[in-house]
Amino acid sequence: MLEFFRWQPDNKHFYFKGISLALYITCVVISFLIVILIWIFKNPINRWYNSKSIHLGTLSSKSLKILIGSITIVFMGLRSSILWFAKYPNIYEIIPFHLCRLMLLFTALSLVFNKVNLIKYFGPIAIIGCIIALLNPSFDFVPASKPQKIGIDSVYFYDYILCHCFLLIITSMLLATHRIQIKAKDLLITAIFFICLALIMFSINLVTYIYAPKGWQTNYLYLGKDEVNSQSELFGVLSKWPWNIFTWTFLGLIFYSIFIAIWIVQDKVQIDFMNRKMSISVKKSNRWIEFKNRQQVNNIQNK
């Protein structure tokens, strides 16, 4: 197999420093700037997207979503194939059940089936997960010595950047273009969904730890046993098995609640661009009205 696709660091020339670190930081900064610009220009972006019936010359809005979702799934399948043929040490990762990979799969499926409104249940977690992953990159398959021996001569370096930057940007763009309503009941639905998801992954991790060979002992959602969990020391005893399920579930719900609070407050500040003029206004948050569900607010439906 070509060296570029091998995970073993022995013949690699670049570490996670110098040009590799500079490229990583550049991609992360650009991604964060794009997300900020999406927020600043969310009103004109929404008008532009919903005023067009055809995109890229020939595609309807539905066809565009199907295309993006399908390409995403194809690339996820390609990554799984690379892991398989490269005899990746954590071979269980060919099934994309790690947090950001799973959120990427959910996003792709919501696009393929034109159910973008479902993103309100997992989009906030996807954004939060991507921000944490990009600010604290983890390459578990490389020896933990600093700096780690992974860089521009490894496909896994680019895979990590592409997955998290793309998920961060596409989720932010979908929230801007579709004016998705998040209500109080959605907070409850999300809590129930992710608690059930955590229990399922916790059970899978336990079963594979007991019965599966090395490499197939899973650590999905970082809820695996301490011996296979690279994050087991992060919060001391609170991140060790079995307490990690309570810690991560609690933190997930806290982060989701913080996101909703920011989601509501940011709607009070409206930045718009009309006739080449910028206007800034402060008003009552429609998101707060939607959240309390006291009245219906005009909402542009998914095309």
Lowest mean pLDDT among 62-71, 76-85, 259-268: 259-268
Condensed to tens digits (0 to 9), the pLDDT of residues 269-290 reads 888 887 778 888 888 888 888 8
Task: Indicate whether 189 pLDDT > 70.
Answer: yes
Contact between 103 and 76 (Cβ < 8 Å):
no
Residues contacting residue 283 through CB under 8 Å, at least 6 positions apart: 268, 270
Condensed to tens digits (0 to 9), the pLDDT of residues 122-169 reads 999 999 999 999 998 988 776 666 777 888 999 999 999 999 999 999
Local structure of residue 60 (DSSP, 8 states): -
Condensed to tens digits (0 to 9), the pLDDT of residues 203-251 reads 999 999 999 999 999 999 999 999 998 888 888 899 999 999 999 999 9
Predicted model pTM: 0.90
Q: How far apart are CA 229 and CA 240, in angstroms?
A: 8
Q: What is the pLDDT of residue 56?
A: 84
What are the b/e assignments for 65-96, b being 16+ CB within 10 Å? bbebbeebbebbeebbebbeebebebbbbbbb
pLDDT averaged over every residue in the chain: 89
Q: How far apart are CA 116 and CA 96, in angstroms?
A: 20
